[in-house]
Amino acid sequence: MSSLPELKAAVQCQNLTLRTRKKTILDDVSFHIPQGSITGLLGPNGAGKSTLLRLITGLATPDSGSVKIFGDPAGVERLGQLSLLPDRSSLPGWLTVGRWLHFAEGIYPDWDNVKAEQLMGQLSVKRESRISTLSRGEEARLQLLTCLSRKAPLVILDEPFTGVDLISREEIASTVVGEMADGERTFLIATHDIREMELLFDRLILIGDGRIQGIEDVEQLRQSGHSVESRYREVFA
């Protein structure tokens, strides 16, 4: 009898450790992220979330341990498989939104123009605005548009809602991200906006002081009478 090939984890981190001279930023971090899941990476300021995402995307290397993306070692060779929204804006301020999107279409082979047009409406992004004149929330929307207009199978969002107002955060979480989470793509989202994202997550990785404090299946959490927020408070309060 032939068996189906086992799905490789979208992300597999094994014993990741990263130190500076003064402190240990990540300490023996291990977990895996199943394909098709939406995982929330949650933890207080300075916990190590952005650093961990940099290691996963291959933008930094650990002192020890390993990261695999769909079974292959992380690194610049994997950048085509993942779409990253970084924690700090890296958009060219001198371009208009329209020019930037044209440029993005040229640099990303997996760019989806139809999706980009659709997201412009959903995220209220105006083509003629110059990027340097955008408010923080408007720039966050453009970052999100850029990231979600690619077809990469792994989407990594580092604080996607910085500066975005409450009602828009809720709308964006439910319509934009919810709609794209089709069970095919894998999402890893570091955020402090737990309430707005609560219903989307199916897994949680809780990180504090550079160490994994918990890995949770959200369905099981709910069945045991917890919410994402109550679990977060339990672990970090």
Ligand X SMILES: Nc1ncnc2c1ncn2[C@@H]1O[C@H](COP(=O)(O)OP(=O)(O)OP(=O)(O)O)[C@@H](O)[C@H]1O
- Which spans of this chain sit near ligand X (rule: CB under 6 A)? 20, 25, 43, 45-51, 87
* Minimum distance of ligand X from residue 130's CB (angstroms): 27
* Minimum distance of ligand X from residue 91's CB (angstroms): 19
Quote the crossing angle between the two packed helices 113-122 and 136-148, to the nearest 10°.
150
* Minimum distance of ligand X from residue 46's CB (angstroms): 4
User: How many whole angstroms separate alpha carbon 189 and alpha carbon 192?
Assistant: 10
Contact between 10 and 35 under an 8 Å Cβ cutoff? The reply is yes
* Minimum distance of ligand X from residue 216's CB (angstroms): 18
Nearer to ligand X (CB atom), residue 53 or residue 69: 53
Nearer to ligand X (CB atom), residue 116 or residue 144: 144
* Minimum distance of ligand X from residue 211's CB (angstroms): 12
Report the 10 Å Cβ neighbour count for 14: 15
User: How many whole angstroms separate alpha carbon 193 and alpha carbon 173?
Assistant: 10
Nearer to ligand X (CB atom), residue 47 or residue 119: 47
Nearer to ligand X (CB atom), residue 119 or residue 189: 189
Tokens of 163: 């500066």
Nearer to ligand X (CB atom), residue 28 or residue 87: 87
* Minimum distance of ligand X from residue 207's CB (angstroms): 7
User: How many whole angstroms separate alpha carbon 67 and alpha carbon 15?
Assistant: 9
Tokens of 34: 């199943």
H helices, E strands: number in the chain: 9, 10
> Could you give the dihedral angle defined by the CA atoms of residues 169, 171, 175 and 181, in that order, rounded to the nearest 10 degrees?
30
The pairs formed by 21-27 with CB atoms below 8 angstroms and a separation of 24 or more are: 24/210, 25/51, 25/210, 26/51, 26/52, 26/55, 26/62, 26/210, 26/211, 27/209, 27/210, 27/211
Nearer to ligand X (CB atom), residue 99 or residue 192: 192
* Minimum distance of ligand X from residue 121's CB (angstroms): 30
Nearer to ligand X (CB atom), residue 53 or residue 97: 53
Contact between 150 and 78 under an 8 Å Cβ cutoff? The reply is no
